[in-house]
Amino acid sequence: MGTQLELKPVNGSFSLKEHIYDVLKTSIMNLDIYDEGTNLRMDERTLADQLGISRTPIREAIMRLEQEGFVDIQPRRGVFIRRKSLNEILEMIVVWAALESMAARMACLHATDEEIAELRRLGTKYTKDRAKAELSEYSEANIEFHLCILRLSKTRLIETIAQGLFTHLKAVRRKALRDTSRADRSVVDHMHIIEAIEARDAGLAEELVREHTMRLHAYIRRSWKFIVGEALADQSTTPQTESLQET
Amino acid sequence: MGTQLELKPVNGSFSLKEHIYDVLKTSIMNLDIYDEGTNLRMDERTLADQLGISRTPIREAIMRLEQEGFVDIQPRRGVFIRRKSLNEILEMIVVWAALESMAARMACLHATDEEIAELRRLGTKYTKDRAKAELSEYSEANIEFHLCILRLSKTRLIETIAQGLFTHLKAVRRKALRDTSRADRSVVDHMHIIEAIEARDAGLAEELVREHTMRLHAYIRRSWKFIVGEALADQSTTPQTESLQET
DNA sequence: CCATGGTTCATGGTATACCAGATTGCGAAA
DNA sequence: TTTCGCAATCTGGTATACCATGAACCATGG
């Protein structure tokens, strides 16, 4: 048919609310919420005509974001992007530790040798020196490594929940990973983890992963003020009856 | 000021959608979804005029239920209560194991002696013999015991997620706990867990909790067909791009 | 100038109307 | 009798209008 009309990948069961949800979510994720002066306000009507659609899909998207803890919607006051408190961040890291260490255990039991080889490939991509030099790239590889462990658990639910946590932690991570001194320790940890999984030592793998993650926990706790700045450091976010959910 | 006006705490910011959500959720939970012939269909409009309100709050409630994996909403087809597959149930138990074992670890570090004493009280409420005799009551105490461990972790997020999982598992639990042979093993396990936490042995406590929960995992896997009946045993629910989320 | 009370406005909650896709059932044709 | 097709209808998605409640502002009186 020669030149086609080039109609977008077409909305295979495309729905507005889904799309809006993604748009808003990524917007929030790419926002530096731990910076005073950033506007945390979101107005349904404003968004509605900015995007040229009605309020309904936007409300649905916002509701979902609230459910997931990204925004805080106060009746008759407004919708506000939520700034996670130190304690919330720390709790997320604890849960992350629980999930990933269990994932490592499962990986020892269920992963094939080929899959573990792939994990090694990811883990050895960067040496200690290069990790220091090209921090941002290493950061990406670092994430890949951890996601790989989750995948090797063959437990979808673990991946899903951890992914959700990760989304929340991203904003903090961006600010926290400046510290180069942590990079080489990280590389060493990863190597030990790989070796434990290769040896199918579930108990050891679990322990190493847990301790690795809990080091991030300790680090964040120590340097929270540095990360978010003095002014915001002790702001406790709204109590919240919140949320966290599962399939 | 002498006698005050005594006005009721008033529905502190009572909202329809919240209420509807609770109503629907408890309805679903109390429904025997693993029984052929139960109607899994939910219609927005029908519910709307049954409850005498408009579709909007109902849609919001249903959306949330979908997000949490309780229902499956198929555009222009209908909303259906979701029947969890064996694999989904097993994955939930794995995550539960990860969370509660981490909770046990945290309890060793952060719980006070008094709190641990409370745990012992709950755990020793039923002896092996009585547990067999009064199964349904023991079941309640059993739940209390595990929730107590979660609480002792002082990690809100763990409690929240686990609670969510528990809601999903309830339907299965109801059918699975008939087996009296598992009760005495359970009581013994609990005692060992209590002792480990009292001894502040984080590693041991974690291991015992994990293994205790994974025994449920193994049991469910073995007896799934018995639990849900032959007919439903191998129905795979819709693939689902699902969900699971966090604060 | 300050305190009190009311009016206006902004904003999320709810109701309703309309749209489009999917199902279902019936009737006509083979 | 079976099969195909069309139309009535059911159902979730979207748009829009209205409601109720806090907040902000203003006016009035001390």
Q: What is the Cα–Cα distance from B39 to B16, expressed in whole angstroms?
A: 25
Share of chain A above pLDDT 70, in %: 83
Radius of gyration of the CA atoms of chain A, in A: 21
Q: What is the mean pLDDT of residues A192-210?
A: 98
Share of chain A above pLDDT 90, in %: 62
Instruction: Answer whether A246 sits within 8 Å of B92, measured CB to CB.
Output: yes
Output the CA torsion sign for A30, A33, A39, A40. Answer: positive
Q: What is the Cα–Cα distance from B157 to A165, expressed in whole angstroms?
A: 11
pLDDT, averaged across chain A: 85
Residue B245 has pLDDT above 60, yes or no: no
Residue B232 has pLDDT above 70, yes or no: no
Residue B223 has pLDDT above 50, yes or no: yes
At B160-214, the pLDDT tens digits run 999 999 999 988 887 776 677 777 788 899 999 999 999 999 999 999 999 999 9
Residue A152 has pLDDT above 70, yes or no: yes
At B73, which helix (H) or strand (E)? strand B71-74
Bases in strand C with any atom closer than 7 Å to a protein CB: 10-17, 20-23
Instruction: Answer whether A94 sits within 8 Å of B158, measured CB to CB.
Output: yes
Q: Which of A13, A158, A245 sits opposite B67 (nearest CB)?
A: A245
CA distances from B59 to A114, A207, B12, B46, B66 (A): 46, 44, 23, 12, 10
The closest nt to A57, taking CA to C1', is D14
Neighbours of B134 (CB within 10 A): 14
Instruction: Answer whether B244 sits within 8 Å of A240, measured CB to CB.
Output: no
Residue A240 has pLDDT above 50, yes or no: no
CB B15 within 8 A of CB A75: yes
A5 CB-contact burial (10 Å; exposed 0-12 / middle 13-18 / buried 19+)? exposed
A74 C-beta less than 7 Å away from strand C: yes
Q: Which of B75, B101, B246 sits opposite A68 (nearest CB)?
A: B246
CB B237 within 8 A of CB B83: yes
Q: Which of B68, B91, B246 sits opposite A165 (nearest CB)?
A: B246
What contacts B242, CB < 8 A, 6 or more positions away? A160, A247, B69
**Alpha helices (H) in B53-200, listed in sequence order:** 55-67, 86-110, 113-123, 128-133, 135-152, 156-176, 181-198
Question: Residue A41 CA to nucleotide C13 C1', Å?
Answer: 19
Starting from the edge strand earliest in sequence, which strands make up the sheet with B71-74, in order?
B41-42, B78-81, B71-74
- Residue A74's SS3 state is strand
Residue A2 has pLDDT above 80, yes or no: no
Question: Residue A71 CA to nucleotide C9 C1', Å?
Answer: 24
CA distances from B146 to A117, B106, B119, B150, B153 (A): 38, 14, 9, 6, 11
Q: Give the pLDDT confidence score for residue A22 in this predicted structure.
A: 94
Report which of residues B177 and B63 the model is more confident about: B63
Q: What is the mean pLDDT of residues B110-124?
A: 95
With cut-offs at 50, 70 and 90, classify the pLDDT of residue A146: very high
Give me the amino acid identity at A195: E
At A168-198, the pLDDT tens digits run 998 888 777 667 777 778 889 999 999 999 9
Q: What is the Cα–Cα distance from B45 to A46, expressed in whole angstroms?
A: 30
CB A187 within 8 A of CB A131: yes
